[in-house]
Structure 1
């Protein structure tokens, strides 16, 4: 690697999202010259990657407080492709911490070039930013103490649920609250770690976020005997790498990276590295790739990437 500075969902829905995200990137391609982001990277020789501190296995800190994860490794592959595009094989990476609440502003305000976390690509966000092809799909579930009698959203009547500020899970819980007239006390925390801690401290009855993030937090804290993930999916959340929209060349570079990874059959081994094998921090999620996501990766292999 380079030098640096600083659960079940419909297959048709998953493939549709994969196609939509790829189409969105393709639609921005065309035009001459370097886009603003690429021009600045060529000038400074630095790519700014936004990372999350507590979103394992997508983006988190190792024992030496260095950012690592599945999303970051995908971003590093994009950086390699950017190097080809701007003719600079020695680009450096500067990591910039972001949260759920400030990650989109960080992209819009040019503080980061790529957001490498666990961000849901949806139509509302696509009005402001662009997304890579599909890299994962998750959905909102609940983390509760093992002794809790909560097994579904309808068991939350009158209870306190914590969500991380700035996530799609917050709106999902408001929708559930309204749909079932639960009278929920929905509170927010600054990041996933803080949300998790609220349940640990008994300040919330449940933590609602994407299921894979809940599993990751439980494993990282070695708390499998204390907490469980429960309930049906309360939302559908396809993940993508986020970057500035309206930049044809940058969009093409991001899409080309994913198609190269797909054609080289690197995506599934990369998934297994972070979701099935033991993590560099010692934990093991052991979450095999779903047939739907595997098929979405095959779609990238079967279609040609966009070229400038």
Structure 2
């Protein structure tokens, strides 16, 4: 097993997360109003979702559903109380990992309700909320490939979803370890998994939780295996929001922190990761990570 040496060789650095910074306001014209003020005026909040990120964000009964969607709905409930708007409207905008930063930057969405995994580079494009999940990066292959480590894939192609943190990670691993990988991109998790399922490409790189979700949804889950080798430390995932609005970030962070330290959060986590998920009764069996457990008992908003 080479996971420890690979991790240090790749020199991944998860920066001290979500430090409270105050970038200058970049919004002008129609977006000069701050998010809370605009929501109060329009009585509408615009939320981004994905349809291919089970169990975080997907479509069920023609509506966005999932772990991060449920957490976003808790934020909406808190916003109704703060702004005293009982009939606050929610407008959902379909997004992808490739478009999420553009939608936030251009104020098309107020919050991206999908798990945005943190990196310093990504933090330059958008603000991150406090995290509500942590996951390591791994890869998935067909069992008949007999691929145990990323080194076994040297000289071959690997698939990564565009716009994700995994693109940055695998490029670092490839360069640092001289693996000569051909890194191919796909814009949809379902399409990417189908390429692995068909044998067109040997491996797909993503977070452990998303990979488990893809396998669980497959009609032939026993044909696949997720690597024991990890390609990253536990990476925090939060919501994306605009860089230029500290008041909105503070509201979102304090709301999330209050929820994460409540009993309701534990129940929500167990519903999505340790219980059968309707309608297919899929149980991902992912225990709460030590990092997330620490947040559920923390009394400090930024003591991560």
For normalisation by structure 2, the TM-score amounts to 0.86
Alignment of 1:198-217 (within 5 A): 198-217=195-214
State which of 49, 54, 57 in structure 1 corresponds to 2:55. 57
Name the residue aligned to 2:175. Answer: 178
State which of 123, 133, 137 in structure 2 corresponds to 1:126. 123
Contact 2:141–2:204 (CA under 8 A) maintained in structure 1: yes
Name the residue aligned to 1:220. Answer: 217
How many residues align? The count is 282
CA distance in 1, matches of 2:236, 2:110: 20
Contact 1:141–1:234 (CA under 8 A) maintained in structure 2: yes
State which of 245, 249, 270 in structure 2 corresponds to 1:251. 249
Measured after TM superposition, the shift of residue 265 of structure 1 is 2.6
Deviation >3 Å, runs of 4+: none
CA distance in 2, matches of 1:280, 1:253: 32
Contact 1:144–1:150 (CA under 8 A) maintained in structure 2: yes
CA distance in 1, matches of 2:49, 2:271: 19
CA distance in 2, matches of 1:231, 1:132: 29
Measured after TM superposition, the shift of residue 304 of structure 1 is 6.3
Name the residue aligned to 1:90. Answer: 87
Matched, 1:111 2:108: yes
- SS in structure 1 at match of 2:116: coil
Measured after TM superposition, the shift of residue 85 of structure 1 is 2.5
- SS in structure 2 at match of 1:88: coil
Measured after TM superposition, the shift of residue 35 of structure 1 is 5.7
Measured after TM superposition, the shift of residue 90 of structure 1 is 1.7
Measured after TM superposition, the shift of residue 42 of structure 1 is 1.4
CA distance in 1, matches of 2:260, 2:49: 23
CA distance in 2, matches of 1:122, 1:176: 15
Measured after TM superposition, the shift of residue 179 of structure 1 is 2.3
State which of 26, 29, 37 in structure 2 corresponds to 1:39. 37
Contact 1:277–1:285 (CA under 8 A) maintained in structure 2: yes
Q: How big is the alpha-carbon RMSD for the aligned residues of Structure 1 and Structure 2?
A: 2.3
- SS in structure 2 at match of 1:117: strand
For normalisation by structure 1, the TM-score amounts to 0.85
Query: Which structure 1 residue ranges, 5 or more long, are not aligned?
Result: 1-7, 10-15, 29-33
Alignment of 1:272-291 (within 5 A): 272-282=270-280, 283-291=282-290
Matched, 1:293 2:256: no
Name the residue aligned to 1:69. Answer: 66
